[in-house]
A and B are shown apart, each in its own frame.
Chain A
Amino acid sequence: MCTEDYSEIIVHDCTYKTKLTTNYKNRKKWEAKNPNHIIVTLPGTIRKIEVEIGQKVEAGEELLILEAMKMLNKIVAPKSGTIKKINIEVDQAVPKDYIMIELED
């Protein structure tokens, strides 16, 4: 038996001493998504913002145009609500998972 440092993982209530893989170490912890956050799924550049703070929007209403992968993508409200915060400007490049717009009920 080697005496190296082992990590522990639990399967069916039993704890096993073991080493970990690179991918296991780098895995992302899951977090619940905030339904009020309009986040970037495809990185790109903001081309147009169609809403203002305080404006009421219906589900399916266009919020902005995001240019990504050579396409002008329409980003629509996933739910009805009021625009609480706008974190973007026209021509801004946005990375994946960036919160562009925040809604409130």
Chain B
Amino acid sequence: MSLKNNILDLRKRKEKAQLGGGEKAIQKQVAMGKLTARERILAIVDEDSFCEYDLFVEHQGREFGMDKKVLQGDGVVIGTGTIYGEPICIYAQDFTVAGGSLGLMHARKITKIMDHALKLRVPLIGINDSGGARIQEGVDSLAGYGEIFFRNTLASGVIPQLSVILGPCAGGAVYSPALTDFVFVVNNISKMFITGPGVIKSVLGEEISMEELGGAKVHSEINGNAHFYAETENECFEQIKKLVTFIPWSCDKKAKSFPAKPPKPEYKIEEVVPEDPTIPYDIRDCIKCIADDSDFFEIQKDFAGNIVIGFGRINGETIGFVANQPLVLAGVLDCDSSDKAARFIRFCDAFNIPILTLEDMPGYLPGVDQEHAGVIRHGAKVLYAYSEATVPKITVIIRKAYGGGYIAMNSRHLRADFMYALPTAEIAVMGPQGAANIIFRKEIAGAEDPEAMRVEKVQEYKDKFANPYVAASKGYIDSVIEPEEIRKVLIHSFEVSKGKVASMPKKKHGIPPF
């Protein structure tokens, strides 16, 4: 064979392999409103930047007639590419090939690209679209999942790991996304569950659709498994690309700096925050008063809205924002919001992203459901995550900082580097009403007009304690600042914190209240 013929032969082989499960299967994929595995990768990475590996890998199944079947690329596409010029490793399961089912070689391709990502110290993006284990390959397929989960765990905190759910991801397969840092879902396309509607019906007699059981909305609103929700695959790809701009390649690097931009002039903190601490406002408007170009990239937007987390930039540098949201559940901490914040804080700490905490919260959510759901154990995660974080961490108390919430929201006592408060801040052991009812119980009960006495005593407590100056007098607050100064002060504080050195006692690892 001449060289030319060799090249033509290669091209033919490639073309055939790249067709995956063939025209019919592709048509089915399209009919489900889905892109193919390769189309997805090409939509995410920079033009002409994708390099594919293991295109000619064949499956190893020999039982149940599998030896006679050809599965192109064994149902998964792997490779490297760039996003806005930054390198990434990526894999995409190909549902057109045997339903994207995971057999030994399919798993080996995935673990190969995972090993690359870990070795090259670049982010890993996994696109999941698979019917699950390839049953014909038996325990080999289980072994494959185990090898993936193990690598997810090894890579955790070393390189950012993104999971994109663009089809079914059921049974054991869900644990790879669950072990990664960010999970992306798309309405009507993502389906994620441990046991499907069929099993649930036969075992429990409960009838539920796939969408209601494990659709995109369930994971983004109810259980918090997902971090980003999109209406279309393309919207999802834009979210992935945007996220990558905020995070570093690995724990050894810092996120890329961008040219600094001032916030948009329409965002002014003094116009956003109402003075009365019982009146709600949207804390995201506050963030937009601080972040470069008022650009805030929110994570888990629809889950536990009482805390807001996400990335923005201050003076061109990525900052992780953690903020109580008075607009939702008055900004209380509860089980869900604690989990949400704690995990984000740990991500920021692992990847050298400084944390800004904006505080305005009345305390923990009261209720039997909360106590029984373990708000003690969940709430403890926030304390743990903040205490353990050694990246620069700064807090601004906007209004309320009451009780345990004051301690938990990155207080000086958990080693905040800088603590600021606006003059509207109220730092106290609890809100004035509750405190007055306890401290002045006797006076109120014994008064001729208990209601009038209560109002008087609440005011007395407010005058004495509902301000930032008691805490400032003890050095717990470094500076009481005017709203207008916030951004300037924060730029300075993060700037001087750049060389921060803080270490933890020597240990194998801590034992966070998981």
State the A residues within 8 Å of B (CB): 1, 6, 9-24, 27-28, 30, 43-44, 68-69, 93, 95-96
Contact = CB atoms under 8 A, between A and B. Distances in A.
Contacts of A93: 205
Contact of B328 (A15, A21, A68): A21
A19 B328 contact: yes
Given A11-B363, A30-B368, A19 B205 contact: no
A43 B203 contact: yes
Interface string B204-227: 111000000000000001100000
A14 B305 contact: no
A44 B330 contact: no
B206 A95 contact: yes
Contacts of A69: 203
Contact of B329 (A13, A20, A30): A20
Given A9-B329, A20-B329, A28-B369, A14 B362 contact: yes
19 contacts: A10-B366, A11-B362, A11-B365, A11-B434, A13-B431, A13-B433, A13-B437, A14-B434, A16-B278, A16-B280, A16-B362, A17-B278, A17-B279, A18-B330, A19-B305, A21-B329, A22-B302, A43-B205, A96-B204
Nearest to A95: B205
B507 interface: no
Residue of A11, A22, A23 contacting most chain B CB atoms (<10 Å)? A11
A1 B281 contact: yes
A43 B204 contact: yes
Interface in B122-171: none
B424 to A, nearest CB: 15
B336 A16 contact: no
B471 interface: no
Given A14-B362, A27-B367, A93-B205, A20 B430 contact: no
Contact of B204 (A10, A11, A28, A95): A95
Contact of B434 (A13, A22, A27, A43): A13
A14 B222 contact: no
Given A21-B306, A28-B369, A93-B205, A14 B431 contact: yes
Nearest to B334: A24
A12 B434 CA distance: 5
A11 B362 CA distance: 7
Interface string B312-345: 0000000000000011111110001000000000
Contacts of A1: 274, 279, 281
Contacts of A20: 328-329
A18 B306 CA distance: 10
B402 interface: yes
B44 interface: no
A14 B432 contact: yes
B280 A17 contact: yes
A23 B362 contact: no
A43 B204 CA distance: 5
B394 interface: no
Interface string B374-406: 000000000000000000000000000011000
A15 B330 CA distance: 9
B305 A16 contact: no
A15 B369 contact: no
Contacts of B403: 12
A61 B362 CA distance: 50
A84 to B, nearest CB: 26
Contacts of B206: 43, 95
Contacts of A6: 280
Interface in B271-307: 274, 278-281, 302-306
Contacts of B336: 21, 23
A14 B372 CA distance: 23
B270 to A, nearest CB: 14
A44 B362 contact: no
Residue of A12, A16, A30, A96 contacting most chain B CB atoms (<10 Å)? A12
Q: Which 8 A-B pairs have the closest CB atoms?
A: A12-B434, A16-B330, A30-B368, A13-B433, A11-B362, A14-B431, A43-B204, A13-B434
Nearest to B366: A11
Contacts of B221: 22
Nearest to B372: A30
A86 to B, nearest CB: 20
A27 B362 contact: no
Residue of A6, A15, A21, A68 contacting most chain B CB atoms (<10 Å)? A21
A66 to B, nearest CB: 12
A45 to B, nearest CB: 9
B433 A23 contact: no
B330 A9 contact: yes
A14 B326 CA distance: 14
B78 to A, nearest CB: 37
B459 to A, nearest CB: 14
Contacts of A9: 329-330, 332, 365
A66 B329 CA distance: 41
Nearest to B327: A19
Residue of B305, B330, B432, B435 contacting most chain A CB atoms (<10 Å)? B330
A95 B207 CA distance: 12
A20 B364 CA distance: 15
Nearest to A17: B280
A68 B372 CA distance: 25
Contacts of A68: 203
